[in-house]
Amino acid sequence: MIIVMKKNATEQEINNVQQVLKDHGLGVHLSKGTDTTIIGIIGDKSKLCDTCIESMDGVQSCVPIMHSYKLASRDMCPEGRKVNVKGFEIGGEEFTMMGGPCAVESEDQIMEAAYAVKEAGAQFLRGGAYKPRTSPYSFQGLEDEGFKLLRKAADATGLRVVSEVISENQLDIAAKYCDMFQIGARNMQNFRLLKAVGKSGVPVLLKRGIASSIEEWLDAAEYVMSEGNYNIVLCERGIRTFETATRNTLDISAVAVVKERSSLPIIVDPSHAAGKRAYIESLSLASVAAGADGLIIEVHPNPKVAVSDSAQQLTPSSYIDLAKKVRAIHSTMMSFNSDLQK
Ligand code: PEP
Ligand code: MN
């Protein structure tokens, strides 16, 4: 349940309501918007009298939340959350661009990718150091050495690092090198890992599971948030369907559904959805137009020799060209939106 406070509710009135909830042993999550303050209740509220709360000074209404996820729901934060990663706000006015190779392969490779991604105007360098591969015989990543190379390339170019973590035991080391942890599609329901990244407080890029519903995905986000880490960005990366022309099917409707149901920012990964370079541009432009907050795209200095996902990685020049088109659509949409508000 959430308690919506009146627009003119005083600090004292907000505190009084929180105190009553705490006295009932309930968890309290305060969300202060520009207009409205919302108090979310977590825990067993069976002993709480809704009508007594509704009659307290400053309270406008008590609204039940029907979903299993609460903190991740739109009701808890109607104006939407922004996730700050080293001074850059994902979900804010500026469109988020992440780019880099599927896997970190060598210092030269990641440096070259980083300079290209920076030239395109991206804010984040991606690259897998730990690669959870379908086959145990495929390249598994450079591991901690990969993190170090990512950090070096990001520092040389002024980018932020986003990279996948696959186990709770590695988070302390990963936090030394990464600005944002990626939870991959295969680990979306690894609940111990979700809780551990929740405790770490490090911003999280939570990919949608290969065959997960939007509700299961938001429940996964709730695991992270219930540990006190609200810095989550969702990433739609395609789901498994009967279609074989593409590697996965990009569920573009997930952008609209998530925007309606959740307060969390959402970005799109067209690379793992398409699986083919030729389709990346079209899916990227569609994602921006659908209202995504950003894109994460695989970029390799020489995709033909990439040790993983060779068919879907863009060359530096095609990423730079694509970024220009993406920004053109994004700024057109922003100016339409601001005209509509006038
Ligand atoms: C990746 O981003 O390199 C990756 C493995 O993605 P996903 O978890 O979406 O398959
Ligand atoms: Mn990949």
Task: Identify whether the C-beta of residue 139 lies closer than 8 Å to the C-beta of residue 133.
Answer: yes
**Chain centre distance of CA 17:** 32
Assign residue 275 a region: left if phi > 0, alpha if psi is -120 to 50, beta otherwise?
left
Pocket test for ligand 1, best of 133, 237, 247, 249 (most atoms within 8 A of CB): 237
Nearest Cα neighbor of 212 from 195, 179, 237, 233 is 237
Domain spanning 83-341: which CATH class is it, in words? alpha beta
**300 in ligand 1 pocket by Cβ < 6 Å?**
no
Residue 339 predicted with pLDDT over 90: no
Instruction: Assign 3-class secondary structure to 14-30.
Output: HHHHHHHHHHCCCEEEE
Check if CATH label 3.30.70.1140 holds for domain 2-63. Answer: yes
Residue nearest to atom 10 of ligand 1 (CA): 185
Looking at the chain, the whole-number percentage of residues with pLDDT higher than 70 is 100
Res. 1 pLDDT band, cuts 50 70 90: confident
Residue 49, pLDDT above cutoff 90: no
Q: Which of 226, 172, 219, 158 is nearest to 200 (CA)?
A: 172
Nearest ligand to residue 132 Cα: 1
- C-beta 185 within 6 A of ligand 1: yes
DSSP H or E segment with residue 141: none
pLDDT winner (highest mean) among 23-27, 48-52, 324-328: 324-328
Ligand closest to Cα of 313 equals 2
pLDDT confidence bin for 243, thresholds 50/70/90: very high
Residue 184: which residues within 8 A CB-CB, separation 6 or more?
132, 164, 166, 207
pLDDT tens digits along 177-215? 999 999 999 999 999 999 999 999 999 999 999 999 999
Say yes or no to pLDDT of 48 above 90: no
Cβ–ligand 1 distance for 207 under 6 Å, the answer yes
Average pLDDT on 107-120 reads 98
For residue 138, is it left (φ>0), alpha (ψ between -120 and 50) or beta? beta
* pLDDT score, position 39: 94
Does the Cβ of 146 fall within 6 Å of ligand 1?
Answer: no
Q: Can you tell me the distance from the alpha carbon of 268 to that of 293, in angstroms, rounded to the nearest whole number?
A: 8
Q: Report residue 59 as tokens.
A: 């309270």
Q: What local confidence, expressed as pLDDT, does residue 341 receive?
A: 79
Per-residue pLDDT band for 97 (boundaries 50, 70, 90) equals: very high
Residue nearest to atom 3 of ligand 1 (CA): 102
Residue 51 has pLDDT above 90, yes or no: no
Query: Distance between CA atoms of 308 and 302, rounded to whole angstroms?
Result: 12
CB distance 13 to 53 below 8 Å? no
Mean pLDDT to the nearest integer, 17-25: 93
Answer yes or no: is pLDDT of 64 > 90: no
Determine contact, residues 196/171, Cβ cutoff 8 Å. yes
Q: What one-character-per-residue DSSP string does 173-200 give?
A: HHHHH-SEEEEPGGGTT-HHHHHHHHHH
Residue 6 scores a pLDDT above 90: yes
- SS3 of 93-137: CCCEEEEECCECCCHHHHHHHHHHHHHCCCCEEECECCCCCCCCC
* b/e per residue 296-327 (b: at least 16 CB within 10 A): bbbbbbebeebbbbeebbbbbebbbebbeebb
Residue minimizing CA distance to atom 9 of ligand 1: 185
| DSSP state at residue 311 | G
Which positions ≥6 away from 190 have C-beta within 8 Å? 183
pLDDT band at 219 (very low <50, low <70, confident <90, very high): very high
Choose between 51 and 222: higher pLDDT.
222
Could you identify the atom of ligand 1 that is nearest to the CA of residue 186?
A: 8
Q: Provide the pLDDT for residue 136.
A: 92
What's the pLDDT band for 174 if we cut at 50, 70, 90?
Answer: very high
Q: What is the pLDDT of residues 118-151, one digit of tens each?
A: 999 999 999 999 998 889 999 999 999 999 999 9
User: Between these two residues, 174 and 339, which has the higher pLDDT value?
Assistant: 174
Residue 237 in contact with ligand 1 by CB distance below 6 A: yes
Tokens of 119: 């030239």
What mean pLDDT do residues 47-71 have?
Answer: 90
- Segment 312-326 shows an average pLDDT of 98
Angle at 234 between CA 233 and CA 235, to 5 degrees: 120
pLDDT category at 292 given cuts 50, 70, 90 is: very high
At residue 27, the pLDDT reads: 87
Q: Are 35 and 8 in contact (CB under 8 A)?
A: no
Report how far ligand 1's centroid is from the alpha carbon of 8 (Å). Answer: 46
Query: Where are the chain's structural domains?
Result: 2-63, 83-341
pLDDT at res. 69: 94
If you measure from the C-alpha of residue 171 to the centroid of ligand 2, how many angstroms do you get, rounded to a whole number? 21
Q: How confident is the model at residue 342 (pLDDT cuts 50, 70, 90)?
A: confident
Confidence of residue 165 (pLDDT cuts 50, 70, 90): very high
Q: Is the pLDDT of residue 47 over 90?
A: no
Closest residue by Cα to atom 4, ligand 1, is: 184
Q: How far is CA 312 from CA 98, 131, 297, in A?
A: 15, 16, 9
Q: Look at residue 36 and tell me whether its pLDDT is greater than 90.
A: no
Decide whether any atom of ligand 1 lies within 6 Å of the 128 Cβ: yes
For the chain, where are the alpha helices, taking DSSP H only? 11-23, 50-54, 107-119, 144-157, 171-177, 191-200, 214-225, 253-261, 270-274, 277-290, 316-341
Residue nearest to atom 1 of ligand 1 (CA): 102
Average pLDDT over residues 231-254: 98
Distance 132 CA to ligand 1 centre (A): 8
Q: Looking at the CA of 209, name the nearest ligand.
A: 1
